[in-house]
Structure 1
Amino acid sequence: MYTKGKKQLKFDRSFLLRKMEESTKKLLLRKEESAEEVDELPLIKRTWKESKMLWVVAAPAIFTRFSTFGIHVTGQAFVGHIGSKELAAYAIVFTVLMRFANGILLGMSSALSTLCGQAYGAKRYFMMGVYLQRSWIVLNFTCLLLLPLFFFTSPILKVLGQEESIADVAGTVSLWSIPVIFAYAMSFTCQTFLQSQSKNILISFLAAFSISIHIFLSWLLTIRYKLGLPGAMISTIVAYWIPNIGQFIFVTCGWCRETWHGFSFLAFKDLWPIVKLSVSSGAMLCLELWYNTILVLLTGSLKNAEIEVDALSICLNIIGWAMMISFGFLAAASVRVANELGRGNAKAAKFSIAVTVLTSSTVGLLLFLFFLFYRERLAYIFTANEQVAAAVGDLSPLLAFSILLNSVQPVLSGVAVGAGWQSLVAYVNLGCYYLIGIPVGVILSRFLQLQVKGIWIGMIFGTLVQTIILIILTCKTDWDEQVMLTRSRVNKFSVHDQETGTN
């Protein structure tokens, strides 16, 4: 009986594989026919069609990132009304600790963008819900590993030399921030899942609703009822969790019928490939997101550091807002490239990259001219100190060039995410940022006495080298080969999942 069962299982498996090969051939034939139809369109129409698909992902992604960034800025503004000690503690926790956690979780969630984007393009919709659940497991386990940093924030800061009173308040803020890191895990994964299907309009509405509630609750709890720091943190937690609840309901309650088939024990199987891709994705994006933090730390040890750090913080605040646009294009690039590779259309993937880079760099060029023209006049939005404003004006050319460069580099990182190159790009980032950019910046600032300009020039140089390498890598890539690799990855997971009866 057992032998007969094994033979029957082997027969079913071979039959299933044969059926899958036949369906794959038919699907590829349809893809080739549709690709030929698209290629026959005039260039302007092809560009217009691709631009519409690009902005369907990019526009909501940009708006959502602006709103999420606004939650942090709004929270900081209301905490500033509580007291200077509370503001300093809040700034330390959110600019160092939360940025550290954010970088890890955002980077690891980009692995889901690769898997879901390629699966959606290949029309293997049933796999996407399993990928989402696997990412939930991996990212929430990562949050648990990060908890000791939040429990022991106060003693860690004291060891590092932070003032005792500020360190104690920072310890309180970090404990209140624990629900926020778990909110990150849920938010990043659900957003990626929906973006891969171009269903992210909902994310924008939830983000707008969230920041509106945050502003109202912050005023109500901190200004009206004088609840102090707990009131501000409660408002922040609610603001981060409102979109998660909405996205979870949207995903699991019938609005994603093709891609969500309910909770499955398959989520606990084959976690190791997800872990490996998530770790390499996390390393890739963390190395980018922490780069500017290093810039601030290096500047703090220079002469006349107070003016320099104030001016630099204003510039980095402006870059932070501009980067929300770039991250929107990063999301769009990863989705479009992954979708087209999943469909088996190498030409469309290459054309998508060209349109996305051109669009993002055009936006970057406009911002470059704007910041180059207004220079120190923008600084008075953030400060009344003329010395700081003059320092900002002096740094404006570097600010403008950084924004221009950052309009191209994140798009190429998005291409890497869409194609699944995270491990390779992590090594590129490590070499360009930390073995080239930072050492050059230190040499220019300390030995050539260029101060903060030297550090910033070094950092820009590292980003420039990384961008050039990614451009060469993208241009030299055999995209037909990438289609084959994508098909192999998708089929590998599809065979396993279908064998276990989840289709």
Structure 2
Amino acid sequence: MDRGEEPVLNQSLLEEPSSRNSPAEDPQAKSLPSRVWIETKKLWRVVGPAIVARLAGYSMNVITQAFAGHLGDNELAAISIVNNVILGFSFGLLLGMASALETLCGQAFGAKRYPMLGIYLQRSWIVLFIGCILLTPIYIFASPILKLIGQTDEVAELSGVVSLWVLPLHFSYAIQFPLQRFLQSQLKNFVTLWTSLVVLVFHALISWIFVYVLDFGIVGAAVTLDISWWLQCIMLLVFVTCGWCPLSWAGLSMEAFSGLWEFVKLSAASGVMICLEFWYYRILILMTGYLEDATLAVDALSVCMTINGWELMIHLAFLAGTGVRVANELGAGNGQAAKFAAKVSVAESSFISLFICVLVIALHDKIGYIFTSSTDVLQEVDHLSYLLGITILLNGVQPVLSGVAVGSGWQAWVAYINLFCYYIIGLPLGIVMGWVANLGVLGIWGGMILGGTAVQTVLLAIITSRRDWEKEARTAGQRVKQWSTPDPDTRTEEQQ
């Protein structure tokens, strides 16, 4: 097929479709509102479907926990622990490792080196599959690990059974996460949106059948997650390999095994960056469990974290959208356009978080009714609602700046910043405010926000604002050349 016949993949990322037959137009010459509107449309082509897909995936776990909750308290505790601790650990690490594709595929797409997207996808499959194998002992020895950190024998044993049954789900991450980033980097993520919605409905149906109709109990609840995640994997795999990505997928290639070490280093940096962040607030819940009135504190904090988790899905979608837009523009050699894309994304994400923050604070004494009718828990949620509002406000900026880092390839720097802010400043400050100052959960969470999240956001903002974006574009161009096979068109021109 002639390259000129590909209207979507081959048009310039900075031009409207109608401009292909007209003289080149400088985007800087347009008015600011016009530029913002154009960038907003490009950004939301990724963010919109990503929000729906992430909310659907989050809701699948909620559905499973809801069905398990009707089986008994121990079953609910076991499913919750496996979802949030066992699966949560591998989810955060493997999701982060897959985000290396947002850098490489996004920049290769911007540079119009489309065949390399398929090569990068296969390299990511290899690296993540090896990562899954290395993480498997956590699932096999889940029961003794949980006993070691203080879980009761009954809950730990049941969690160990569930963790073995969700091993297939664990390995699905190695296939699905790279596929999602491969598709979103070339703006084909609407397929992820629709498959997520289909699988969500399917998951609710088979959960009811397995748990109630077939009476498979907690094992049935775990198996439904395996089936649903692998169903989406298969649907995305069929889309990619059966002709809907003709320029970026040319079949399996031995070239995927070359340059693996460099790919491993970028994937590892990405994994550490996301995992350190992903685990930060899970540690908050674990620390709260050691307070004197732990049950009340954990219940109230769980309500706040659930609200925060749902809201965070919006800004994680902005992380993905920002990563794609920045990577696309840097790959195309447009440093100033990448900088402008970052500014628009931060502004729009911040506006959404500000609106939700105001809503949470205005309804501070009512938001707990969504999850509980306990007077004590409602009062504790009321006390924590202002910290929840601050956390939501920071959500509007921090993930977007992480998206800029992913799109630019700064993952290693951000991993060091996360380690410093979260675990050297934030956690100790939370411990001091929680126990030494005797402020309880309010002190732990407040210390972790002020010492960790807020400091990290300020540092990322300073780094982002001081970058030389034209230099970043040149670096992206060098990375694409270094990690790519020679472009056929360029090679032909050189031979002539």
Question: TM class, shorter-chain normalised?
Answer: over 0.9
Match of 1:132 in 2: 121
Match of 2:101 in 1: 112
Q: Deviations over 1:391-448 (max 9, x none)?
A: 0001101001100101110000000000000000100111111111111111111222
In structure 1, the residue corresponding to 2:150 is in which secondary structure?
coil
Match of 2:445 in 1: 456
Match of 1:241 in 2: 230
* Counterpart-to-counterpart distance in 2, 1:81 and 1:34: 65
Matching of residue 232 in structure 1 with residue 221 in structure 2: yes
Task: State the AA in 1 paired with 2:59.
Answer: G
Matching of residue 180 in structure 1 with residue 169 in structure 2: yes
* Counterpart-to-counterpart distance in 2, 1:93 and 1:41: 52
Match of 1:320 in 2: 309
Q: Is the 8 A contact 1:127 1:497 kept in 2?
A: no
* Counterpart-to-counterpart distance in 2, 1:367 and 1:186: 34
Cα gap change, 1:370 to 1:35, in 2 (>3 Å): farther
Counterpart among 335, 340, 363 of residue 374 in structure 1: 363
* Counterpart-to-counterpart distance in 2, 1:91 and 1:35: 55
Counterpart among 443, 465, 480 of residue 455 in structure 2: 465
Matching of residue 474 in structure 1 with residue 460 in structure 2: no
Q: Deviations over 1:355-377 (max 9, x none)?
A: 10000000001100110011131
Q: Deviations over 1:434-491 (max 9, x none)?
A: 1111111111112222111111111111111111111110110000000110011001
Task: State the AA in 1 paired with 2:479.
Answer: R
Match of 2:412 in 1: 423
Cα gap change, 1:34 to 1:114, in 2 (>3 Å): farther
Match of 2:481 in 1: 491
CA-based RMSD of the aligned residues comes to 2.0
Q: Deviations over 1:250-286 (max 9, x none)?
A: 1111110111111101111110011000000001011
* Counterpart-to-counterpart distance in 1, 2:485 and 2:208: 54
Q: Cα offset for 1:197?
A: 0.5
Match of 2:70 in 1: 81
Q: Cα offset for 1:231?
A: 1.8
Please tell me whether Structure 1 or Structure 2 has the larger radius of gyration of its CA atoms: 1
Match of 1:298 in 2: 287
Matching of residue 37 in structure 1 with residue 30 in structure 2: no
Counterpart among 273, 290, 303 of residue 262 in structure 2: 273
In structure 2, the residue corresponding to 1:376 is in which secondary structure?
coil
Task: State the AA in 1 paired with 2:439.
Answer: L
Unmatched tracts of structure 1, length 5 or more: 1-26
Q: Cα offset for 1:233?
A: 1.8
Q: Is the 8 A contact 2:44 2:321 kept in 1?
A: yes
In structure 2, the residue corresponding to 1:375 is in which secondary structure?
coil
* Counterpart-to-counterpart distance in 2, 1:235 and 1:61: 23
Task: State the AA in 2 paired with 1:259.
Answer: S
Counterpart among 391, 394, 408 of residue 402 in structure 1: 391
Match of 1:15 in 2: none
Task: State the AA in 1 paired with 2:397.
Answer: V
In structure 1, the residue corresponding to 2:33 is in which secondary structure?
helix
Q: Is the 8 A contact 1:132 1:193 kept in 2?
A: yes
Q: Cα offset for 1:86?
A: 1.4
* Counterpart-to-counterpart distance in 2, 1:263 and 1:37: 40
Matches within 5 A, 1:19-418: 37-418=26-407
Q: Is the 8 A contact 1:35 1:348 kept in 2?
A: no
Task: State the AA in 1 paired with 2:191.
Answer: L
Task: State the AA in 2 paired with 1:466.
Answer: Q
Q: Cα offset for 1:159?
A: 3.3
Q: Is the 8 A contact 2:259 2:483 kept in 1?
A: no
Taking structure 1 as the reference length, the TM-score comes to: 0.91
In structure 1, the residue corresponding to 2:364 is in which secondary structure?
helix
Q: Of Structure 1 and Structure 2, which has the larger fraction of its residues in helix?
A: 1
In structure 2, the residue corresponding to 1:290 is in which secondary structure?
helix
* Counterpart-to-counterpart distance in 2, 1:49 and 1:42: 11
Q: Cα offset for 1:34?
A: 8.5
Unmatched tracts of structure 2, length 5 or more: 1-12, 492-496
Share of identical aligned residues, percent?
A: 48
Cα gap change, 1:452 to 1:34, in 2 (>3 Å): farther
What is the number of equivalent residue pairs in this alignment? 473
- Which consecutive aligned stretches of 4+ in structure 1 deviate over 6 angstroms post-superposition? 496-499
Q: Is the 8 A contact 1:35 1:345 kept in 2?
A: no
Q: Cα offset for 1:80?
A: 1.2
